[in-house]
Amino acid sequence: MTQAVGIARAHTNIALIKYWGKRDKDLFLPMNSSLSLTLEAFYTDTKVVFDEELTADSFFLNGIEQSKTEIKKISRFLDLFCEYTGERPFARVESFNFVPTAAGLASSASAFAALALAVADALKLDMTRQELSTLARQGSGSSTRSLFGGFVEWSMGTSSGDSMAHPVDDADWDVGMLVLAVDTQEKKIASRVGMEHTVQTSPFYPAWIETAKEDLKAIKAAIATKDFEAVGQITEHNGMKMHATTLSANPPFTYWTADSLLAQEAVRRVREELQVPAYMTMDAGPNVKVLCRVSDMKILIEALSAYFPSEKIIASLPGPAAYVLSEEDWEQSKIHFAKGSQG
Ligand code: 2P0
């Protein structure tokens, strides 16, 4: 092999039952199983070129060469694949994020899922998606779920080999999500740090684990019967419980800002006024995501526009599983990114 090239796209995902806490930090084994919705509107495209002529790994994100620290994360991730391939040549990794970076919109989820699939494509690895998800997991926990589309479960497993994602449902039954991007500043407490602090110090943490198990069972039953209201209610309750563990950590902290509270209040008011099912959830950042019917999106956006500039309201349909891109697709993606970044 002198050169091996792989290109892939993975969509980001938003957890309805959150992953919050690790039982093994090195292997990214979670304390609880989680369930997400993959989103069509946000994704990462990644190209990896393994080349025997290269003398070091490099990583370009959105056309910008990244720092040594970021490159190290990529190198460490690529090394995981050596278990399957033996020694590897150095690689050049290029990614374009069609996700507002570090806005609590889990760009790391799509990032490592796209990289994992690009590597599998480049090296022609003979492994299932589920096996690949065990590797994506070790880049960033939530990326294990981004290898699949629709509603996806990440089973906590018993070891590294079976802590993997699997698809639950296509979510093609009038399900969508609005992102209220109230604040796109970089988050102050990385989720990795926040979850560890919470596991160690929140007296509510054991209750989180116990009830997250029940929530997962209940939401899967609701998905199976396409009971949208139940899916939404479980989602909202589970998200609030996750955030209650940060408020009860010692010292306490929160990902919410004043704008997040305004957004939450707007969602409550709008769903009261319109009498439509719309349920919120939040991650390790200030933005509010609203699980809603695709058929209600238009009236919801109109009503929410009374509270936010409409450009801060981003609608998404359920997204597909990660997939391999051709060189032509890659060229198109670069053009698309360049156009987008020029505003
Ligand atoms: C989730 N979050 O289930 C949860 C809910 C944030 C809140 O997964 O340490 O970037 O890389 O495994 O996946 C964000 O954390 O954390 C996350 P690491 P990750 O989506």
SS3 content of the chain, % helix, strand, coil (to 5): 45, 25, 35
CA of 49 to the centre of ligand 1 (A): 27
0.85 exceeded by pTM: yes
Q: Which residues contact 201 (CB under 8 A, 6 or more apart)?
A: 249, 250
Structure tokens at 163: 């802590």
Q: Phi-psi bin for 218: left (phi > 0), alpha (psi -120 to 50), beta?
A: alpha
3-state secondary structure of 106: coil
Which of 99, 208, 283, 289 to probe ligand 1 with, by most ligand atoms within 8 A of CB? Answer: 283
CA of 304 to the centre of ligand 1 (A): 27
CA of 210 to the centre of ligand 1 (A): 19
Domains of the chain, CATH where assigned: 3-170+325-341 (3.30.230.10), 175-316 (3.30.70.890)
Structure tokens at 25: 């930090």
Q: What is the pLDDT of residue 79?
A: 96
Cβ–ligand 1 distance for 194 under 6 Å, the answer no
Q: How far is CA 248 from the centre of its chain?
A: 25
* Strand ranges inside 215-270, DSSP E: none
Position in ligand 1 atom list of the atom nearest CA 139: 11
Tens-binned pLDDT, residue by residue, of the chain (343 aa): 689 999 999 999 999 999 999 999 999 999 999 999 999 999 999 999 999 999 999 999 999 999 999 999 999 999 999 888 888 999 999 999 998 654 447 578 999 999 999 999 999 998 999 999 999 999 999 999 999 999 999 999 999 999 999 999 999 999 999 999 988 776 689 999 999 999 999 999 999 999 999 999 999 999 999 999 999 999 999 999 999 999 999 999 999 999 999 999 999 999 999 999 999 999 999 999 999 999 999 999 999 999 988 888 999 999 999 999 999 999 999 999 998 765 4
Question: Which tens digits make up the pLDDT trace of 42-93?
Answer: 999 999 999 999 999 999 999 999 999 999 999 999 999 988 888 899 999 9
The span from the CA of 95 to the CA of 197, in Å, is 31
Cβ–ligand 1 distance for 281 under 6 Å, the answer no
Position in ligand 1 atom list of the atom nearest CA 13: 20
Sign of CA dihedral 248, 187, 38, 280: positive
CA of 12 to the centre of ligand 1 (A): 11
Cβ–ligand 1 distance for 20 under 6 Å, the answer yes
Question: Which tens digits make up the pLDDT trace of 210-253?
Answer: 999 999 999 999 999 999 999 999 999 999 999 999 999 999 99
The span from the CA of 107 to the CA of 325, in Å, is 19
Cβ–ligand 1 distance for 283 under 6 Å, the answer yes
Cβ–ligand 1 distance for 107 under 6 Å, the answer no
The span from the CA of 11 to the CA of 15, in Å, is 13
CB 316 within 8 A of CB 14: no
Angle, CA of 193, 110 and 135, to the nearest 5°:
75
